[in-house]
A and B are shown apart, each in its own frame.
Chain A
Amino acid sequence: MILDPTWLARLAPLELRARVRTEGAAAGRHAGLRRGLSGEFIGQRPYAVGDEWRRIDWKAYARTDRWTVREARMESPLSSTLFLDVSRSMAFSAEGRLPKIRYAALLLSLLAAVLVRRQEGCGLGLVNDHVVKHVPSRTGAEALARLMSVLEGASAAGATDIGRALDEARPALARRGVVVVASDFLQPLEGWLPSFRRLSAAGHDVIAFQVLDPVELSLAISGSRRFEDLETGGGMTADPEIVGARYRALMAERQRRLTRSLTGMGVEPALFETDEPIDVALALFLRRRMERL
């Protein structure tokens, strides 16, 4: 997969900020859980047995005649895991636009590029109703190339069960970090929201990239059609001009419920429509997130 250099240029000043404290032994840009000498100063405390001598604040001792220890939060690199829904429903595209799976793969590729350029780790999982492929989080150009290779080779197959797949993948997420799930999230909410709740409860910063074709939101096609489900194969004949309004109302209601549910459990939802330029959409998301965090 070759990413357009202009996309990368547009995304160069941006980063994916984490809402949670990251875990890791190496030093990085993100606030970690561990305390140490370097990093962001967070306060002083009386010396206790076992503290390292070098952590004693000698200037404070000179002023107060008490041994006090400086404490600082250690910064560690971000460890991100990207999940791409590769179920058959992601193969949908209309009016010559990119299939959702390709749009989502490009989106995750760009995000991975952003992470890797900042020396942050990035892993990948392809999921449908199970984990199809898992690439552990690594840093460096080689890791990025491998991720992009996997994303490029992703093809839509199988039914969707994001919840089950995430539950299956959760044990592999040893360290806290950012989890990005790119899917259309069109399966019933009850089936996969608990998994997101569990991920979030485990301390991960979960981001839900909902990738939809505009037609899925508006049903803006003309003429009576026989609609065939990409996953189940079931079908029905309907005239979008007749049922369009009702469909749009239901879809809008579903989207509101989805956003409300995800936000309620600490998951950040982001909607991407496949007629939007990928770099612009991702840049907009990252910029807003940076402003917020």
Chain B
Amino acid sequence: MTFLSPLFLVVLPLALLPALLHFWGRGRSRIFPFSHVALLQEAVRDWMSWERIRRWALLAARIGLLTALILFWSRPVLHRGGGALSASGQRAVLLLVDASYSLGATREGRTAFASVLARGRDILDNTRAGDRAGLIVYSDRVESELPITEDVARVRRELAAARLTFRPTDVAPAVGLARQWMRKESGAKSAVILSDLAAHGWRNVVSSTAPRGGIGWVLCEAGTAGDNAALVGADAVLDPASDRLRGRLSVAAWGAPARPERPWSLFVNGRSLARGRVPVLGGVAAAEFLSAPVAGRGAAAEVEARLDPDALPADDPLYWMAARPSAPSFLIVNGAPNLSPVSDEAYYLRPVLEAWARDGARFQSVLPSELAEADLSPWNALVFLNVGPLPERARRNVEGYVRGGGGLWTTVGDRWEESGRLAVLPSGSGGFRDVDEGVISGGRENDPLPALCSPEWDWKSARVKRLLAWTPGGDARVLLQTRESRLPVFLLGSAGAGRVAVLTTSVDRDWTNLPAKPIFPVLCREALSHIGRLDAPPEETPRVVGEPLEWKRRGAGTGKIRRPDGSEDVSTERDGRWRYEQTDLPGFYRLLDAVGGPATIAVNVDRSKGEGDLSLVSRDHAARALGGTGMTWVGPEENVGRALEGRPLAPILARLILAFFALETFLLWRWRKS
């Protein structure tokens, strides 16, 4: 028998403490001169024999409890016929090597992954002729595998070839595969998990009943530092109105970081543009707002934020493409162009359009007849001004555009014909009406444009003389209506994936004075932003290490990829799509022209988040998740070879501790009762 933590044996003599106290206490019983000891003797005659037994039993239970506790902490291992590597007959050991990026944490200048590999080698070195071994290198997936074989040397080579990945940890797939392999094995079998045993990797392990003659699980702790800080988020974008990158960095910290602040630096397109310090407090997420000038006005910039490296450097950088929000574009379809600008409905939209154009918005005016052939996909929305019935092809083009997600704003004028109404409009009309009424808000708080429902807007001065008596249908929401007759003036609806806005009167001073009111530009901008989906944040799909990259790009059959480490690789094109799968490093992957010119497309690949908390999984959770015949936990300083060589006595000692504790409790309870 050997002890994995023999230091605890130093305190073994403490187990005799109850005996010392017992005899010391007995010798020091206070003398009480008494007049009637005979009666006392009679009183205790029945009780004394039981009491004597109880006292000795209590003493034995206490000594046993202390002895078992100390032995439990000293981790004894029995060498006769227990563990995988000490049992006689066929023996199998399967190494599960954690290659997730949290193993990149350094301790005393050595990464946890290096420790893991060294421990794996030790185990393989201790195998004997006839032993079988296997290897699973895993992150959140099985990275490489070598089924259990008698060729231990091959396992050793595979282990040496294992590389640290930038993937997160999920031990479940590896454990599942190990169970599957071990089920086929007979004789003594141990599965050794070589990992930092961080809790984040054990969320998905499902408890399993071990197969017959179950697996002895050995968990080898790599011993990483508990404190860590990581960049966990960045939402910086290029300001479309300036040459600056604006946004925010999010930093999370676990444990008790030694430094209260950590320097950070920001690189845009490879150039260092900003730096600062961010507070780092254990258990508290911090945010750092940043604003950095960016040269050039490209659509996107390669941004790398980097915390000053700590024990786990892999989670200190963060890569992302900072996009410049594209400028909105609107296609104005003028149904009644006039020579006189003031007679043109577009004239009244001019204040809106000019102000918006200064912010980068783009407008183009076309005639209805041009819609049949026009490519409408680049436009955020179409603006119909007094457009009459459209030709069939143009109608189909517009309706397809709207149902596919495009926006449509239409005003009604004297060219309106009910028979030519677009099907995407929210229901129909009942003819023109002369009303000459004021306008009131018909919206509610949860309407798509709540700003227009605000009481601060003065709609009362706006009047409508003539409008189309519109009957809202479908999901149409009336935002403006006439004061007395409650006829819709402005309403919003949807068609397929697209959004539609209808102004039931003309942008003409003879029909309404609405365009002359200060609220009108606001109405137009809000409504156009809504139907053009400018108010929705751009959807971004995070790309993480290990997942393939795909581009849509016309070109030759092969192209070059410049990887984050500067090396170049080849990407192939198939059916107009480029694909690259060796994304094993975080950073920017650039697709170069076939001739090796400048990068035409850059894509960021990042580590997945959620590995920063390096706190250990609880032993109970691990034991429940793994099942099997038992679990041995080997600390970072302990000898894994010894743990494997014998049967750990910890479970037996744990039962003994419970038994002694129960005996002591029973004896004390009986004492109280007697």
Listed in ascending order, the chain A residues whose CB lies under 8 Å from chain B are 89-90, 92, 100, 184, 186, 188, 213, 216, 219, 221, 223-232, 234-238, 242-243, 246-247, 250-251, 254
Question: Smallest CB–CB gap between A272 and chain B, Å?
Answer: 15
Q: Which 9 A-B pairs have the closest CB atoms?
A: A92-B35, A225-B32, A229-B37, A89-B35, A247-B43, A246-B43, A227-B34, A226-B29, A243-B44
CB distance from B21 to the nearest CB of A (A): 13
The docked-state distance in angstroms from the alpha carbon of A184 to that of B639 is 74
- If A236-B44, A243-B40, A243-B47 touch, whether A230 touches B29 (CB-CB below 8 Å) is no
Cross-chain contact B44 with A232 (CB below 8 angstroms): no
Task: Chain A residues near B567: list those with CB within 8 A.
Answer: none
Judging by beta carbons under 8 Å apart, are A228 and B34 in contact? yes
Q: Is the CB of B37 within 8 A of A235?
A: yes
Known contacts A92-B33, A216-B35; 6 additional CB pairs below 8 A are A186-B35, A225-B30, A227-B34, A228-B31, A235-B37, A237-B29
> Assuming the A-B contacts A226-B29, A242-B671, are A184 and B41 also in contact, with contact meaning beta carbons closer than 8 angstroms in the complex?
no
**B595 interfacial contact with A, CB 8 Å:** no
Chain A at the B interface: mostly helix, strand, loop or mixed?
A: mixed
State whether A250 touches B39 (Cβ < 8 A): yes
Cβ–Cβ contact A228 & B39, under 8 A:
no
Asked whether B35 lies within 8 Å of A238 as measured between CB atoms, the reply is no
**A238 vs B36: C-alpha distance when bound (angstroms):** 13
B47 and A246 form a contact (CB under 8 A): yes
Are the CB atoms of B30 and A227 closer together than 8 Å? no
Does B32 contact A226, Cβ atoms closer than 8 Å? yes
What residues of B have a CB within 8 angstroms of the CB of A247 in the complex?
39-40, 43
- Do B30 and A243 have beta carbons less than 8 Å apart? no
Closest to B46 in A: A246
CA of A225 to CA of B29, assembled, Å: 5
Closest chain B residue to A234, Cβ basis: B37
Most buried by A among B33, B35, B40, B674: B35
Chain A residues whose CB sits within 8 angstroms of the CB of B37 once the complex forms: 227-229, 232, 234-236
| Residues on the A chain within 8 Å of B212, using CB | none
Point out the residues of chain B lying under 8 angstroms from A188, CB to CB.
Answer: 38
> How many A-B pairs with Cβ below 8 Å?
79
Chain B contributes a number of interface residues (CB within 8 A of A) equal to 23
**Quick one: which of A229, A232, A237, A242 contacts B47, CB cutoff 8 A?**
A242
Kindly state whether residue B26 has any CB partner on chain A within 8 Å: yes
A264 to B38, CA, bound (A): 25
Are A242 and B674 in touch, CB under 8 angstroms?
A: yes
Known: A236-B40, A250-B42. A184 touches B35 (CB 8 A): yes
State the CA gap A251–B39 with chains docked (Å).
8
7 contacts between A and B (CB under 8 A): A92-B34, A223-B30, A225-B29, A226-B30, A228-B37, A235-B31, A251-B39
Cβ-neighbour of A216 out of B29, B36, B44, B671 (below 8 A): B36
Chain B nearest CB from A267 CB (Å) reads: 21
In the complex, A89→B35 CA distance in Å?
5
Determine whether B122 belongs to the interface, using a CB cutoff of 8 Å to chain A.
Answer: no
Most chain A beta-carbon contacts within 10 A, residue among B36, B41, B51, B674? B36
B interface residue numbers (CB < 8 A to A): 25-26, 29-44, 46-47, 51, 671, 674
Smallest CB–CB gap between B359 and chain A, Å? Answer: 90
Of all chain B residues, which has the CB nearest A90? B35
Complexed CA–CA distance, A236 and B33 (Å): 11
Q: In the complex, which of the residues B30, B33, B34, B44 contacts A246, with contact meaning CB atoms closer than 8 Å?
A: B44
Chain A minimum-CB-distance residue to B34: A227
A186 touches B29 (CB 8 A): no
Compute how far the CA of A223 lies from the CA of B32 in the bound complex, rounded to whole angstroms. Answer: 11
A188 to B35, CA, bound (A): 13
Residue of B nearest to A89 (CB): B35
CA distance A276 to B32 in the complex (A): 23
- B43: contacting residue among A186, A224, A235, A243, CB under 8 A: A243
- List residues of chain A with CB within 8 A of the CB of B42: 250
CB closest residue in chain B, given A87: B35
CA distance A159 to B46 in the complex (A): 28
Complex Cα gap A235–B31 (Å): 9
Give chain B residues whose Cβ lies under 8 Å from the Cβ of A216: 35-36
Pick from B41, B671, B674: contact of A236, CB below 8 A.
Answer: B41
Residues from chain A with a CB closer than 8 A to the CB of B47 are 242-243, 246
Contacts of A224 in B (CB 8 A): 25, 29
B496: min CB distance to chain A, Å: 88
> How far does the alpha carbon of A235 sit from the alpha carbon of B32 in the complex, in Å?
9
Q: What's the minimum C-beta distance from B48 to chain A, rounded to whole angstroms?
A: 8
Minimum CB–CB distance from B158 to chain A (whole Å) comes to 69
Report Cα–Cα, A236/B31, bound state, in Å.
10
Interchain CA distance A216-B36 in the complex, whole Å? 7
Determine if A226 and B31 form an interchain contact, defined as CB atoms under 8 angstroms apart: yes
What is the CB-to-nearest-CB distance from A136 to chain B, in angstroms, rounded to a whole number?
Answer: 30
Determine if A228 and B32 form an interchain contact, defined as CB atoms under 8 angstroms apart.
yes
Of all chain B residues, the one with the shortest Cβ separation from A244 is: B43
User: Which residues of the other chain, B, contact A230 by a CB distance below 8 angstroms?
Assistant: 33-35
Q: How far is the CA of A184 from the CA of B44 in the complex (A)?
A: 22
Which residues of chain A come closer than 8 Å to B31, judged between CB atoms? 225-226, 228, 235
Residue numbers in A under 8 Å from B44 (CB-CB): 236, 238, 243, 246
Chain A residues positioned under 8 Å from B46 (CB to CB): 246
Shortest CB-to-CB span from A79 to chain B, Å, is 32
Closest partner residue, chain A, to B47 (CB atom): A243
Find out whether the CB atom of A250 lies under 8 angstroms from the CB atom of B32. Answer: no
| Distance in Å: Cβ of B55 to nearest Cβ of chain A | 10
CB <8 Å contact, A250 and B30: no
Tell whether, in the assembled complex, residue B43 and residue A229 are in contact, meaning their CB atoms are under 8 Å apart: no
Shortest A186–chain B CB gap in Å is 5
Query: Which of A213, A235, A251: most chain B CB closer than 10 A?
Result: A235
B44 closest partner in A (C-beta): A243
- Complex Cα–Cα for A229 and B31 (A): 10
Residue numbers in B under 8 Å from A242 (CB-CB): 47, 51, 671, 674
Query: What's the Cα separation between A242 and B35 when bound, in Å?
Result: 19
Q: Nearest Cβ in chain A — how far from B428, in angstroms?
A: 98
Contacts of A231 in B (CB 8 A): 35
Picked from B25, B32, B671, the residue with its CB within 8 Å of the CB of A227 is: B32
In Å, the complex CA distance between A186 and B37 comes to 10
Chain A contacts for B36, CB-based, 8 A: 89, 184, 186, 216
Chain B neighbourhood of A234, CB < 8 A: 37
